[in-house]
Amino acid sequence: MTNSTHPASVVVVGAGQGGHQTAVSLREHGYRGSVTLISAEDALPYERPPLSKAYLTGEADQSQLWLRPATYYVRQSIDLVGGTVTEIDRAARTVRLADGSSYEYGHLVLATGARPRALDVQGAGLRGVHTLRTEQDAAELRAALATARRAVVVGAGFIGLEFASVARSVVPEPEGATARGSGGSTARGTGRPTARVPGRARCEVTVVEALDRPLARAVSAPTAGHFTRLHREEGTRFLFGRGVAALHGDGRGRVASVELADGRRLPADLVLVGVGVTPRTELAAAAGLAVNGGITVDSRLLTGDPRISAIGDCAAFPQVRSGNLLRLESVQNAVGHARLAAERITGSTTRAYDELPWFWSDQFSTRLQITGVTDGGGHDTEVVLGDVNSGAFSVLLFRGADLLAVESVNRPADHLAARQLLGRAIKVTPDYATAPGFTLRGHLAHPTPGRPRHTPGADRTVMPCRSSSADVTPSPDTSPPANDPS
């Protein structure tokens, strides 16, 4: 590592999980130049996953979201700046903020994230209509949920379903009432016994989705079917294949109903719009950087300007295997990108970004974990391990003989084994996966009959989630390339 090539200063625009991690990783790699982390939000950097989960229920407060305490940034000489960047001046290597201040950079990292898509219909600006991205959004939604009686969720994506899960979860009755409960209570209307505490659901929930199933762009049909059943059992109503035409107010500026494209009106005192996000690419575009569904970067996460990187939700990066541009919205992606960018800036690596994507979602007491990516091209074969009706299963998605991704519902061991298999490019075919007795973990221990690839116990536990390049580069004796026609 040659210090002479290090930039004297790094400015990071955006203090979400990716921007934050960039600053942390720069210091971990011994970077001694100035680090400026610019946040448009008036808060310490925090993690977002709990915003649609524990934070909404009130189990987690703001300080529990912080990625580090305030003292950390002081100790590490990370300059946390609150403000909105309005311009990148590439010639002057300076970013300008709305308040007129400016910061010179040796290297600039754009970690601008994404913003929720708004509903482009009349009434979208009424009070009581929410989106969920920031801690502020979540605080408002939590307050609204406390008194809401009828919630309509527009969009059956992860945000919408995680919110529905919280809104349909039971509020325990005050002490005393609970103590008198004599067990054997039944879920609302289903007649099945439940171990749940007695109480009432927070509110009625209707989910309106334009497509014919939930999570349509994210998961396979068997997994989507499971989540449909799960939410229905918990009392959520789904309206699939319906568009929203307008939102109507109560005459005092508050939302009162949601009008569907077919003219039907759903009464609502709370509307959550969860119809995806748009990457924040405006700054990059205005600075003349390429934008293609995200700020376009190369395999080292550099834009066309060698002094500017883009990472996380806002970045469209080439998938190593296919070369296709990919934009992912996940903690893993943000953190993985941040680490690579920091390593590259400090001269610790020149490697291409090739981390295996993974993701999770908690809904009711069900945990969905996904690893791999179907890469836009989709899959042609699904193999289900376990019984979908049992609520614990995995779906293996193949294109031809190649395993692309694995979705695991309440099967964490499958998920972890899949991360190993995909990360090390160990071949898994539909034939293997449908053979009697096949398990992902068993296949990891013995990938092909009679030819174990590694010795159990001897460091078989390298996680592809965050490996050095040596860990994920297939050694010559591992399986053939995934696109091998054999």
Determine the straight-line distance between the first and last CA of the chain, rounded to whole angstroms. 42
Asked if 462 interacts with other proteins (CB under 8 A), we say yes
Asked if 463 interacts with other proteins (CB under 8 A), we say yes
Find all residues with CB under 8 Å of 147, minimum gap 6, and list them: 269
Asked if 412 interacts with other proteins (CB under 8 A), we say yes
Rounded to whole angstroms, the Cα distance separating 31 from 345 reads 9
**Strand 402-409 to strand 366-372: parallel, antiparallel, or no bridges (unpaired)?**
antiparallel
Asked if 49 interacts with other proteins (CB under 8 A), we say yes
Asked if 445 interacts with other proteins (CB under 8 A), we say no
Beta bridge partners, 97, equal: 85
Q: How far is the CB of 154 from other proteins (least distance, A)?
A: 27
Asked if 372 interacts with other proteins (CB under 8 A), we say no
Secondary-structure percent of the chain, ordered helix, strand, coil, rounded to 5: 25, 30, 45
Q: Which of 78, 159, 335, 422 binds other proteins (CB under 8 A)?
A: 335
- The stretch near other proteins (CB under 8 A) out of 104-112, 231-239, 301-309, 462-470 is 462-470
Q: How far is the CB of 332 from other proteins (least distance, A)?
A: 7
217 exposed, middle or buried (CB, 10 Å; 0-12, 13-18, 19+)?
exposed
Q: Which of 9, 57, 76, 374 binds other proteins (CB under 8 A)?
A: 76
How many binding residues for other proteins (CB under 8 A)? Answer: 30
Q: Which of 214/423 has CB closer to other proteins?
A: 423
Q: Which of 324/365 has CB closer to other proteins?
A: 365
- The stretch near other proteins (CB under 8 A) out of 68-76, 97-105, 253-261, 342-350 is 68-76
- The stretch near other proteins (CB under 8 A) out of 252-260, 269-277, 343-351, 463-471 is 463-471
Asked if 466 interacts with other proteins (CB under 8 A), we say yes
Asked if 332 interacts with other proteins (CB under 8 A), we say yes
Q: How far is the CB of 43 from other proteins (least distance, A)?
A: 15
Beta bridge partners, 109, equal: 12, 309
Find all residues with CB under 8 Å of 205, minimum gap 6, and list them: 151, 152, 153, 164, 167, 168, 235, 236, 237
Q: Which of 269/414 has CB closer to other proteins?
A: 414
Q: How far is the CB of 313 from other proteins (least distance, A)?
A: 16
Q: Which of 84, 461, 469, 483 binds other proteins (CB under 8 A)?
A: 461
Nearest to 373 by CA among 297, 321, 441, 337: 321
469 exposed, middle or buried (CB, 10 Å; 0-12, 13-18, 19+)?
exposed
Between the alpha carbon of residue 408 and those of residues 61, 217, 396, the distances in Å are 29, 16, 9
Rounded to whole angstroms, the Cα distance separating 328 from 454 reads 32
Q: Which of 296/371 has CB closer to other proteins?
A: 371
CB atoms < 10 A from the CB of 401, how many?
17
Q: Which of 67/124 has CB closer to other proteins?
A: 67
Q: Which of 67, 139, 187, 216 binds other proteins (CB under 8 A)?
A: 67
Rounded to whole angstroms, the Cα distance separating 354 from 337 reads 10
Q: Which of 7, 29, 57, 68 binds other proteins (CB under 8 A)?
A: 68
Q: How far is the CB of 371 from other proteins (least distance, A)?
A: 11
DSSP calls for 172-191:
EPPTTHHHH--S--B-TTT-
Between the alpha carbon of residue 226 and those of residues 342, 391, 434, the distances in Å are 40, 7, 21
Let me know: does 38 contact 97? Beta carbons within 8 Å.
yes
Asked if 47 interacts with other proteins (CB under 8 A), we say yes
Q: Which of 363/369 has CB closer to other proteins?
A: 369
Rounded to whole angstroms, the Cα distance separating 422 from 407 reads 13
Q: How far is the CB of 337 from other proteins (least distance, A)?
A: 12
Q: Which of 33, 43, 72, 239 binds other proteins (CB under 8 A)?
A: 72
- The stretch near other proteins (CB under 8 A) out of 72-80, 111-119, 198-206, 307-315 is 72-80
Beta bridge partners, 403, equal: 398
Q: How far is the CB of 225 from other proteins (least distance, A)?
A: 23
Longest Cα–Cα distance in the chain: 74
Rounded to whole angstroms, the Cα distance separating 277 from 296 reads 17
Residues of this chain, 4-33, that bind other proteins according to CB under 8 A: 17
Residues of this chain, 238-277, that bind other proteins according to CB under 8 A: none
Q: How far is the CB of 128 from other proteins (least distance, A)?
A: 31
Residues of this chain that interact with other proteins (CB under 8 A) are 17, 47, 49, 64, 67-69, 72, 75-76, 331-332, 335, 358, 360, 367, 369, 412-413, 416, 419-420, 457, 459, 461-463, 465-467
